[in-house]
Structure 1
Amino acid sequence: MKKILWFGVLFPLCALLSGFSAQSEVIYTKKSLYRDIAVVEEHGLRCLIFALVKRDSVQTCQYQDESDSRLVYAYSQMVMGGLLLNPQPQKILLIGLGGASIPNVLSEVYPQAKMDVVELDQAVVDVARDYFRFRQTDNISVTVADGRVFVKRAGMQKKHYDFIILDAFTGDYIPEHLMTSEFLQEVKKLMTDDGVLVANTWGSSRLYDYESATYRYVFGRFFNFKVTPEGGNRIIIASKQKLPSKSVLQQRAQPLVDKLARYNVLINRYPSLMSTQEDWDTSVRPLTDQYSPANLLR
């Protein structure tokens, strides 16, 4: 998940952000239909920030040196763990663009793969293009739309993908209509028989038990991928097929080591961190369109 930064309401956006200093340079600001957006530079990093009412949320950071392709945050590195279930994706769907660090890497590693990117906010697409080296190509298509609407239409059009990434965040958390069992069922219908779903979530979320129960209800057993036992990013990796064993994951990791090393993705370490253990309250109800996160948090 994106990093959350707290700051005093009396200070301007560029000052006294946790993780940034008063010397941070705000190089771009935009008020879109959905949020205030800023691009900030400091210490060789360029970061996309969604300015919220009570706090700011860093969506993506990228090294300013164009020759440095390393992924900055753990969540974007961890998303690549889905490649252990499908090492050669040919048709990719990404819901949530942000600063485009994930599609940038995937398009370099798999230049022949076709990729559909869905982003709600046109302003985010513009920023990713102008400040974060995101480029549309013949193989990369961008649709400005709600992720759920796109998935519904894709299902009606009989589209299928072998690698699907859910990475849509409002700044506070995942939009509630992209967390329900009805939505995940629609996503599942888009998956090829060997398709993989990778979802970026948060280990300390108050919805952890409910999210887990929902994915378990729709997909059965899934990989729970966490670098730290408590808190931090939690990547859910699900498949329509029986999940591979740890030894198979380790075998699949070896050919990917050199491909992903330059992006700071230590793929050979991931199998030991991917668990199918149910570490949540299994008595909770799955989330539905009627039983939503908003209801739970009231």
Structure 2
Amino acid sequence: MRWRLRVVNVNVIWKRTSPDQSLTVYETTELYGERGRFRVLAFSEAAVQGAIDLSDPDRFVLEYPRAMLHVMECTDPTFEDVFLIGHGVGTMPGRLQGKRLRIAELDADVAELSASHFGYRGVPPVIGDGRLLLEREAPQSLDFVVVDAFTEDGVPDRLVDADFFRLAREKLDDRGAALFNVTVRGERDLRTSSVFAALRAEFAYAKAFVLPSANAADQRNAILVGGSSPIRYQARRMAGFVEVDRL
């Protein structure tokens, strides 16, 4: 997910309103300052969960999945086994076809919309709690655990706490790593800083990357990575994300 934006020229084509979580599929001619034809899955028409370019559906519209995939490919070029929590519109799962991929998605509507409105045709997600489904995986069986799961309030605490980090480490092989798409609010985000500290405490190697913004008070995407082996990447291929020492 990428965080909130001012939405203009919107054509709503599907909407669900509920006390738990509202979802909207809409089309727009402008997204994050880029002109074009975009279809977007969002919470309450504001927090973008996923998007495609209708003129070029195969390209990455948002930066964070491109950066996360680069870290994965650079850290372990021969990786095969991936457990992904959070399906979204299918952008990342679509790039992982051919791998041994397991996908957990809590919201059945999101899984259905990825196929009906965003053209996803890959490995179907399992509908259920990602943490509980990860517990069923064999120890040291995974190359990567990827968390890209959001509610309107951000990443659920139970997917970024010390117990979850320990669970992920137990399921990863010696070269494996866990990657998390999170958000940073303002210049000093105490919650995300605490999450990163817990990640560092659990894994021998940990890195944080942030998508810069002209306004330091903006809510921005960040990528956290923890592993038992060195985490590798090339700065020029991080889709604008930069490594930081603290959040």
Which bracket does the TM-score occupy, shorter chain normalised? Answer: 0.7 to 0.9
User: How far off its partner does 1:135 sit?
Assistant: 1.6
User: 2:158, 2:43 → 1: CA distance?
Assistant: 20
Q: More displaced, 224-233 or 85-94?
A: 224-233
Contact 1:49 1:57 (8 Å CA) reproduced:
yes
After TM superposition, give the deviation of residue 103 of structure 1 in Å: 1.1
Distance 2:21 2:2 in 1: 16
**Deviations, residues 253-282 of structure 1 (Å, cap 9, x unaligned):** xxxxxxxxxxxxxx744399664x6325xx
Residue number among 153, 159, 165 corresponding to 1:178 in the alignment: 159
Which residue of 88, 111, 119 maps to 1:133?
A: 119
Give the 3-state SS of the residue equivalent to 2:94 in structure 1. helix
In the alignment, which residue of structure 1 is the partner of 2:96?
Answer: 106
Alignment coverage as a number of residue pairs: 232
Stretches of structure 2 lacking an aligned partner (at least 5 in a row): 30-36
Relative to its length, the structure with more helix (as a share) is: 1
**Structure 1: stretches of 5+ with no match in the other structure:** 6-17, 251-266, 281-298
- Range moving further from structure 2, 116-125 or 56-65: 56-65
**Which residue of 2 is the match for residue 49 of structure 1?**
42
What's the TM-score, normalizing by structure 1? 0.70
Alpha-carbon distance change, 113 to 36 in structure 1, aligned in 2, over 3 angstroms: same
One-letter identity of the residue aligned with 1:234:
A
Q: Work out the CA distance in 2 between the residues paired with 1:268 and 1:243.
A: 16
Give the AA of the match of 1:239: G
- 2:38 and 2:240 map into 1 onto residues whose CA distance is 30
3-state SS of paired residue (1:92): strand
> Aligned pair in 2 of structure 1 residues 75, 135: CA closer, same or farther (>3 Å)?
same
The corresponding residue for 1:278 is 245
Which residue is equivalent to 1:4? 4
Alpha-carbon distance, 1:98 to partner: 1.3
- The answer to whether the aligner puts 1:89 opposite 2:56 as a matched pair is no
CA gap of 1:272–1:64, structure 2 versus 1, over 3 A, is closer
Counterparts of 2:181 and 2:59, CA distance in 1: 19
Tell me how far apart the structure 1 counterparts of residues 125 and 207 of structure 2 sit (CA, whole Å): 29
Q: Which residue of 1 aligns with 2:107?
A: 121
Q: Which moved more, 1:122-131 or 1:24-33?
A: 24-33
Cα RMSD (Å) = 2.5
Counterparts of residues 252-263 of structure 1 (less than 5 Å): none
Identity %: 23
Going from structure 1 to structure 2, the CA distance change for 1:202 and 1:192 (only over 3 Å counts) comes to: same
- Partner residue of 2:32? none
Q: Deviations over 1:175-209 (max 9, x none)?
A: 11111101110011111111122111123244122
CA offsets per residue over residues 94-135 of structure 1, 9 Å max, x none?
10111111111232xxxx211111000111101111111112
Bigger radius of gyration among the two: 1
Question: Which amino acid in 2 is paired with 1:133?
Answer: G
Q: Which consecutive aligned stretches of 4+ in structure 1 deviate over 3 angstroms post-superposition?
A: 31-34, 267-275
* CA distance in 2: counterparts of 1:196 and 1:87, whole angstroms: 13
Change (3 A) 1:74 1:243: closer
User: How many Å separate the matches in 2 of 1:242 and 1:2?
Assistant: 27
Secondary structure of 2:125 counterpart: strand
- Report the AA paired with residue 167 of structure 1: D
| Residues 272 and 168 of structure 1: CA distance in aligned 2, closer, same or farther (over 3 Å) | closer
Asked if the contact 2:104–2:133 (Cα under 8 Å) also holds between the matched residues in 1, the reply is yes
More strand by share: 2
Structure 1 residue 215, shift from structure 2 partner: 0.6
Tell me which amino acid in the other structure corresponds to 2:141: H
